[in-house]
Amino acid sequence: MKNKIINKATDMFLKLGFKSVTMDDIASEMCMSKKTIYKHFSNKEVLIEEGTETIKKKIHDMMDSIISKNYNAIKENFEMRKMFKEMFQSVDHSPAFQLKKHYPEIYAKMMEEEIKVCQSVFNQNVIKGIGEGLYRSDLEIDTVVTFYYTLIFSINENTLYEKDASLLELKALEYHTRAIATEKGIVELENQLKLNN
């Protein structure tokens, strides 16, 4: 029952907003009493916190799945972006923007963990791309990774609408790739841009 509540609430938070969904809304949607929800969660913040854990796990599983397909480094980044776009396509307002605005402590805790995960994934991607001859071999990997995740997280936490964030993410990915690519990498980038427009 606890997992059912988390899944339904998380779905509602993402579609309707973390602030606007109430415990009454969740109870009504699940045809149960609010008392039943409070048996499992002392308040809405606890439910949001557990919901963000569920979202993170889903994202990490999907990222692992993409990495396991062994695409080239540039295609891998485009596949990651596509995964996020599909995951949040039914959402109007950016979940990261909402969470930061209305539940800053939950957001800060989540971001501290996510930055570490993204640093690792982006780092592996750059090393892979260098090995494939798609990225320049003279890159300062830590700096490149820091620039990219700072740009991506800044877009998500400061852009109100998800569709705007998605468009800016594509521009950021192109910008990032052009900055580090070899001539061979630019050819692959152009191919990916054609496929993703």
pTM for the predicted model, two decimal places: 0.84
Rounded average pLDDT per 10-residue block, the chain, 197 residues: 91 84 92 92 93 89 94 96 78 78 88 86 96 98 93 86 87 96 98 90
Query: What is the number of alpha carbons within 13 Å of residue 39 lying toward its C-beta?
Result: 10
Determine the pLDDT at residue 160: 81
**Structure token pair of residue 179:** 């900055």
5 neighbors 22 (Cβ within 8 angstroms): no
Measured in degrees and rounded to the nearest 5, phi and psi for residue 181 equal -80, 150
Residue 37: Cβ-neighbour burial (10 angstroms; 0-12, 13-18, 19+) = buried
Determine the pLDDT at residue 90: 63
63 neighbors 84 (Cβ within 8 angstroms): no
Determine the pLDDT at residue 89: 67
Determine the pLDDT at residue 91: 67
164 neighbors 92 (Cβ within 8 angstroms): no
DSSP assigned state of 20: T
